[in-house]
Amino acid sequence: MIRRSRLRRRLDRRPGGVPAAVPFLVLMSLVLVLGPAGCSDAKDGRAEPRKTVPAKKPNIVFVLTDDLSWNLVAHMPQVRDMQARGLTFDNFFVADSLCCTSRSTILTGKYPHNTGVRTNFPPDGGYEVFKAHGGEQSAFGAGLQKAGYRTAFLGKYLNGYQPGDTQGGATPYVPPGWSEWYVTGNGYPEYNYNLNENGRLVRYGQAPQDYLTDVLSGKANDFVQRAADARQPFFMEVATFAPHGPFVPAPRHAAVLPGVRAPRSPSFNEPDVRDKPSWLRSHPRLRKPGLRAIDNGFRDRARMVQAVDEMIARLRQTLAAKGLDRDTYLVFGSDNGFHMGEHRLAGGKMTAFDTDIRVPYVVVGPGVQAGRRTGALVQNTDLAPTFLDLAGAPVPPATDGRSLVPFLRGTEPAGWRNVALIEHVKPRPTAEDPDRQDSAPGAPPTYNALRLRDALYVEYQDGEREFYDLVRDPHQLANQGGRLPPDRQRQLSALLYALTHCSGAGCASAGRTR
């Protein structure tokens, strides 16, 4: 094991011979960037094809945060600037509001019922289950490599992954599809962790420069700088542990935002939960100590994302300085949302409420119009096919999602879904689960749900149901599950059954109401 006490010394280490992005091509016109063009030569009256410059493959930088909810974006000026300069997906939903299930879906483009990953740990989920179901082979990294990309993965991979595990080899294991690998297992405290750095286990301690988000920022910046000197397009995912609990901000941010507290939406500490399902009806109203803990937690979460925002600023500056910004898509998002006080719930996720399933996603890059927003229902199943599509790589037939590239170019694809699927299996409580605060008896039981433009419908394993009219009740306060007309309930149940049993291209048709 290698001990490195200073960030500067770690960042000065340069792996040799790492190709990355093609230098920026100065093209005659935007038409040539978007595709082949022809012209007519008047010398002999015959039309002759003009020799065209093939479109350059773009670079892609994906910043994936952990448990970052929409109400934290107000404290992230870089993300807000991305919104002003790019495209915001206002209705981006995760297929399950839980770390490992969501990240497995992101990597493969498949719903949890097809990845086999339903929880954070075996036997229902975790890294071992992902690997056993062929997740590493079907993850988008391998497809990008085949398309000529240099790929890098930094930060958090999947729950249960151990950076020192050799998987029977001589050195720590690096999954297929990744040219560079800087990944840890337990980075939640932000200090005292090991990183698998391209097959070498490196120990980081508790010095200020060992703060994990900052270490990832340095390595990401280093990768981009080296990529600028090579002739190969690149994909880089930087997956932070921030702002996941235990809510440890960087030392320089420990005292900022002193007056911030958790937003008080109409659902905060909901006055009347008698109409809610039994798992939620039993929750008493939050009292002063609980409210104080929620405010303190939210404040530290807002402090944590300052380092993430600074990382984004640094990456954008480096891309611009190296002339890569006009050839690079920068994608910002979260693996799931997080509730803090809504519906009388303290801190956690896993519910079908919008606080947990609706997450921020913003994209800037070539051809993306500034300040655009779309209300189309998109999901984390759509990320893998989007990355492959941008790279000009084939999308595997088993992919459940669809490419978002048409949205980046200002159009909505024909036949786009108008129903998003949410599916969740209640985890077994275990001391090793970083989300165990949500695994207590008061957490929701196993359920499947539909999120439509104007409604939320939930079927629990125990037979209870929820239905919210989001036009009249956007904060999901009045459960009408027991008052649905029989025909409407049958329609929703049939739609839910079709989606929870779909695969591949069949999910596109299953995701549209008749």
Q: Which of 90, 113, 57 lies closest to 381, judged by CA?
A: 113
Helices (H), 199-287: 212-227, 278-281
CA 195/CA 197 separation, integer angstroms: 6
Can 99 be counted among the known catalytic residues? yes
CA 119/CA 159 separation, integer angstroms: 9
Residue carrying the six token digits 């979260």: 334
Active-site residue (options: 39, 99, 502, 507): 99
Within 13 Å of residue 79, how many CA atoms lie on the same side as its CB? 28
Strand pairing class (92-93; 378-379): parallel
Instruction: Spell out where 335-408 has E strands.
Output: 339-340, 347-348, 361-364, 372-374, 378-379
Q: CA dist 327 to 22, 60, 126, 366, 385, Å?
A: 9, 9, 35, 6, 19
Task: With residue 130 as reference, give the H or E element that holds it.
Answer: helix 127-132
CA 321/CA 328 separation, integer angstroms: 13
Residue burial 175-201, b: 16+ Cβ < 10 Å; e: rest: bebbbbbbbbbbbbebeebbbbbbeeb
Q: Does residue 373 sit in helix, strand or coil?
A: strand
Catalytic residue numbers, as ranges: 99
